[in-house]
Every structure is written in structure tokens, then in C-alpha cells.
């Protein structure tokens, strides 16, 4: 039983086939999304599609997988590291969300930090959405929690997200990953122990939903 997924199969048993049959769309492969991708890929999710438009910068190297290749498009680099995934090098906008066909995907993982995009995703695909809140300014991964968007707290990005959802009369629930730790700085300082843990928590939550 020595194979790439031997240890995964020991954990999940017959449910491993569910992982291999599912399709996940991951939006954003930066400090949070990159670790989420790594975990999903190593666990054997059958189909993973990523979307991002950004290039790696030197300031990404404290927390982002693949960031040693400065100037490379993140999607292109991730496709080199994780063969067989699909990817789109494009900027995610509210208009793109409106026009894109999400139907083929079982789960949508939102690892972007743009509020209008998050709102657009919630409006269109809240029934299969997992959304990451802010991982910056914190250094305690034990404060990371999972809750629906309306039960998040101590998170500035989540607060703004909730406010914008209320403005459009949105009242549905969907799961988020957030930190209850109060910010430790004003600028966007970051620690891979937290941002990486956000990504791993997103992956764990996705796998739990697949196996339900």
C-alpha cells in the first residue's frame, strides 16, 4: 500500500473516493490560498482550479509558497509545483463573478481580500462558499476559528464584509475562517504561522464538507 496517498487512505478509508471525485475552485493563491492549495492537493482532491492575476514580489517570501520565483505569475508557478491542477491568470472582479459559471464546482473557496468581490461571491454562490477573513496583523494560530459570517468578531475585514452584506439585504449564512485575536499592528504585518494556518483550516473545512 505504498503510494502517494497511502496515509490519506488510512485516515479516510472508503471516503477517499469522495475526495477524488470532487471539484474545487480556489480564488486567490497568496499567503492563505497557497497553503490551502498545498493541503488539498496532497490530500487527493480530484480536481482543483485556481484563479489569480498577481506576480510574486520579494515581500511575499515571508509567507507564500512559490515566492522564491520573484516576478513569476502565481498561477503559472503553482501549476509547476502542483501538476494536473487547472488555473486562470486573470483578475477577479465583481463582473467576472457575475458572468463566471460556478455550476461545475462542488465548493468555492474565497481566499481574496477584496470586499466587493467577496460580496459578489456571497450573493451568487453562498450555498457552496467557504470564505477566508483577514490573517494579517496576528501571530497566534490557536485563535483561528470557523463560524458563519454573522458570528465573526475581532476581524476588521469580516466587519466590513458584514456591513456591506447588510447594505444589500443579504441574510444568508456561509462558513468563514477568521481569527479572534486582536490585531498586533496597524500596517499589514504578517506571520506565516497564522496565514498558513488559515489556509490549512480552509482546506480542512472543505474536506469536512466533501465528506458529509
> Is it the case that residue 13 has pLDDT exceeding 70?
yes
- Average per-residue pLDDT in the chain? 97
Residues 113-158: pLDDT tens digits? Answer: 999 999 999 999 999 999 999 999 999 999 999 999 999 999 999 9
Tell me the CB-side half-sphere exposure of residue 82, using CA atoms within 13 A.
26
What is residue 183's DSSP assignment?
A: P
Percent of the chain scored above 90 by pLDDT? 97
Strand order in the sheet with 129-132: 86-89, 47-52, 23-27, 107-110, 129-132, 175-179, 144-148
> Is it the case that residue 104 has pLDDT exceeding 90?
yes
> Residue 1: what pLDDT?
62
Residues 15-43: pLDDT tens digits? Answer: 999 999 999 999 999 999 999 999 999 99
Residue ranges per domain, the chain? 6-211
- Residue 105 CA to residue 48 CA, distance in Å, equals 9
C-alpha cell at 5: 496517498
Cβ–Cβ < 8 Å for 158, 177? no
Residues 60-77: pLDDT tens digits? Answer: 999 999 999 999 999 999
**Superfamily grouping for domain 6-211:** NAD(P)-binding Rossmann-like Domain (3.40.50.720)
- Residue 24 CA to residue 164 CA, distance in Å, equals 26
> Residue 2: what pLDDT?
79
> Residue 77: what pLDDT?
98
> Is it the case that residue 109 has pLDDT exceeding 90?
yes
Amino acid at each position: 500500500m505504498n503510494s502517494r496517498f497511502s496515509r490519506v487512505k488510512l485516515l479516510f478509508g472508503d471516503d477517499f473516493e469522495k475526495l477524488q471525485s470532487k471539484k474545487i475552485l480556489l480564488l486567490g493563491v497568496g499567503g492563505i490560498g497557497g497553503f490551502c492549495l498545498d493541503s488539498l492537493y496532497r490530500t487527493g482532491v480530484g480536481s482543483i482550479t485556481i484563479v489569480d492575476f498577481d506576480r510574486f514580489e520579494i515581500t511575499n517570501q515571508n509567507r507564500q509558497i512559490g515566492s522564491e520565483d520573484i516576478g513569476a505569475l502565481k498561477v503559472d508557478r503553482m501549476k509547476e509545483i502542483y501538476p494536473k491542477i487547472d488555473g486562470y491568470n486573470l483578475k477577479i472582479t465583481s463582473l467576472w463573478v457575475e458572468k463566471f459559471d460556478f455550476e461545475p464546482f462542488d465548493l468555492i473557496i474565497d481566499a481574496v481580500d477584496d470586499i466587493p468581490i467577496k460580496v459578489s461571491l456571497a450573493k451568487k454562490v453562498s450555498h457552496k462558499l467557504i470564505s477566508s477573513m483577514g490573517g494579517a496583523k496576528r501571530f497566534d494560530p490557536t485563535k483561528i476559528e470557523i463560524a458563519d459570517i454573522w458570528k465573526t468578531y475581532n476581524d476588521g475585514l469580516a466587519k466590513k464584509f458584514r456591513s456591506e452584506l447588510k447594505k444589500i439585504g443579504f441574510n444568508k449564512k456561509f462558513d468563514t475562517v477568521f481569527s479572534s485575536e486582536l490585531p498586533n499592528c496597524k500596517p499589514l504585518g504578517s506571520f506565516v504561522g497564522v496565514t498558513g494556518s488559515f489556509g490549512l483550516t480552509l482546506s480542512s473545512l472543505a474536506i469536512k464538507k466533501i465528506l458529509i
